[in-house]
């Protein structure tokens, strides 16, 4: 089972694993959630999303002419998603200093590497890095915006409760 034959599934699973995991990290931190929640959501997502990716790859490959490869494609996609996708979560799992910064560096390095290894071209590495970085930024800023909005609503509700108590 030569890896070059299944390299597209390896890249597909790996890139999606990295982006999905980091999106959970960035979104959780953008929403001011605790490190404990980052780890719980990250691990749950890696396994469930990895399984989903593997099953989706299996079903897609099974519908193609070469249905004999469906199980291999599913396994490679799943393992790639899980084994590569776990890396951005490691700084949180091991309680390292500045886990978000380390996670960002790991994400960037691995996205670049996966892209570069597709054709050993600098452009491919940069393209994959930029696409993955954009997904992570979206997750972070959406969560940050929602968190700010929710905080404003919560503050407004507290002020209204306070005003009602003062009236009584």
User: C-alpha angle with apex 38: 34 to 43, nearest 5 degrees?
Assistant: 150
Q: Is the pLDDT of residue 1 over 80?
A: no
Tell me the two tokens of residue 123.
């452009």
The average pLDDT across 96-117 equals 94
Among 13, 18, 53, 38, CA closest to 132:
18
The average pLDDT across 89-96 equals 96
Q: Is the pLDDT of residue 20 over 50?
A: yes
Q: Which of residues 42 and 161 earns the better pLDDT score?
A: 42
pTM over 0.75: yes
């Amino acid at each position: 089972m030569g890896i070059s034959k299944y390299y597209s599934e390896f890249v597909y699973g790996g890139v999606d694993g990295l982006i999905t995991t980091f999106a959970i990290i960035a979104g959780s931190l953008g929403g001011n959630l605790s490190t404990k929640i980052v780890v719980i959501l990250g691990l749950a997502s890696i396994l469930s999303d990895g399984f989903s990716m593997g099953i989706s790859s299996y079903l897609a490959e099974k519908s193609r002419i070469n249905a004999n490869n469906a199980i291999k494609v599913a396994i490679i996609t799943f393992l790639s998603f899980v084994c590569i996708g776990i890396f951005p979560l490691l700084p949180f799992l091991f309680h390292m200093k500045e886990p978000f910064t380390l996670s960002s560096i790991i994400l960037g390095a691995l996205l670049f590497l996966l892209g570069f290894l597709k054709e050993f071209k600098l452009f491919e590495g940069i393209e994959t890095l930029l696409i993955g970085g954009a997904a992570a930024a979206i997750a972070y800023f959406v969560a940050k915006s929602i968190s700010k909005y929710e905080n404003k609503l919560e503050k407004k509700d507290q002020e209204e409760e306070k005003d009602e108590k003062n009236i009584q």
